[in-house]
Chain A
Amino acid sequence: MSKLSRRQLIAAGALTAAGAGGLAVAAKLAHRYGLVPPDSGGIYGPGATLTYAAQRLLTRHSMAREFSRSQISVKPLQNEVSPLGDEFKQLQAAGFADWQLKVDGTVAEPKTFSLAELRSFPRRSHITMIQCEEGWSYIAEWTGVPLAHVLTVVGAAPQATHVVYRSFEKEWWESIDMADALHPQTLLAHEMNGGELPVGFGGPLRMRVTRQLGYKSVKYITSLTVTENIKQFGKGLGAASPETGYAWFAGI
């Protein structure tokens, strides 16, 4: 083996310094352009940040694949949920007439919508695949009000960066950035395959985020909060899922 020459040593040193400087500049730019996910700390943080930044630079406006009617899964997997309790049963018995969606945060006018109001809003349908972290997937037709429309109705502030959403299951909350919140396929879904959204699939109201894994499509949505500071919620990781080891950005 030849000895490392002085020239090589200097070149290697210069390259290392340039690399470190480049990384620092990249980190600064990433922060400025909102390319850093809320769960950017920890050992998986750099990987999560790289994934999120790359996806936002390359696929910000992409649309999830839509399938034909004949491709809809005959037997979609109804992922089990823990028992929802008596309060939910009472709401269900009344046909969810008293189900409410509360919207607050950095909006011109905080509002509460009934299910009937949400159903009367402009609706959009798409036949898309829902894909779980565990590996299973199915294709279904989802119908609902685009989240972007609800955000317009309440007058979401232009400086908002994220939308937080919570489930009737209190421990389950998530958030998405504005790229996904304003994405035309992102729905507050209330119908599935042409019928009312079954409880097993998240009825009466489910968030449907088409470009991320299934755990971002939270079931039983009860409230939304528009925010410009995602760090103030929970443990500051942007959702409940990163607290148990899942990535906040599930576009992978």
Chain B
Amino acid sequence: MKKHEAWAYNVLQQLAYLLIIFVAFPLIIWTGLAMSPSFVSAFPSAVNVLGGQQSARTLHFFLTAALVLFLLVHVFMVILAGFWSRVRAMITGCAVRKEGA
């Protein structure tokens, strides 16, 4: 199947997803664990590397804000691009093309 230009992601989009999946999500899990007194008792370096429990907490907050913003922007874009066709594409994994597209 030939890839249509409209269905491919550009470099910035790819970078954004790369950052969210491989940087933001692992970091938010890590900073979350760094706030757990039990986890930190077993793995103290997990919080020391981050500069202490309060630094972990600050990072966790900013990451939360970033992820929520990412989500809101995407919901907004889905609405702009046609809510039902996009949601259907998300669930079924394939996009329905309009005639002549």
Interface 1/0 per residue, A37-61 and B, CB below 8 Å: 0000000000000000001001100
Are B37 and A213 neighbours in the complex by a CB distance under 8 Å?
yes
Range class of the A interface residue count:
10 to 19
Q: Taking beta carbons and an 8 Å cutoff, which residues of A are in contact with B?
A: 1, 55, 58-59, 62-65, 129, 131, 135, 137, 210-213, 250-252
Q: Which of A1, A59, A137 contacts B41 (CB 8 A)?
A: A59
List, in ascending order, chain A residues with CB within 8 A of B38's CB. Answer: 55, 59, 62, 211-212, 251-252
Q: Give how many A-B residue pairs fall within 8 Å (CB-CB).
A: 47
Interface residue tally for chain B (C-beta within 8 Å): 16
List, in ascending order, chain A residues with CB within 8 A of B37's CB. Answer: 64, 129, 131, 210-213, 250-252
Beyond A55-B39, A63-B41, A65-B44, whether A131 also contacts B94 by CB under 8 A is no
Are B36 and A251 neighbours in the complex by a CB distance under 8 Å?
yes
Task: Kindly provide the distance from the CB of A52 to the nearest chain B CB, expressed in whole angstroms.
Answer: 9
Top 5 A-B pairs ranked by shortest CB distance? A251-B38, A62-B42, A59-B42, A62-B41, A252-B36
Q: How many angstroms from the CA of A204 to the CA of B54 in the assembled complex?
A: 29
Name 21 interchain pairs, CB-CB below 8 A, sorted by A: A1-B94, A55-B39, A58-B42, A59-B38, A59-B41, A62-B38, A62-B42, A63-B41, A64-B40, A65-B40, A65-B41, A129-B53, A131-B35, A131-B37, A131-B53, A137-B54, A210-B41, A212-B38, A250-B37, A252-B35, A252-B39
Interface of A is mostly: loop
With an 8 A cutoff between CB atoms, is B93 at the interface? yes
Are A137 and B53 neighbours in the complex by a CB distance under 8 Å?
yes
List, in ascending order, chain A residues with CB within 8 A of B42's CB. Answer: 58-59, 62
Q: How many angstroms from the CA of A251 to the CA of B93 in the assembled complex?
A: 40
Task: Kindly provide the distance from the CB of B97 to the nearest chain A CB, expressed in whole angstroms.
Answer: 13
Interface 1/0 per residue, B54-76 and A, CB below 8 Å: 10010000000000000000000
Q: How many angstroms from the CA of A64 to the CA of B44 in the assembled complex?
A: 8
Interface 1/0 per residue, B28-55 and A, CB below 8 Å: 0000000111111110100100000110
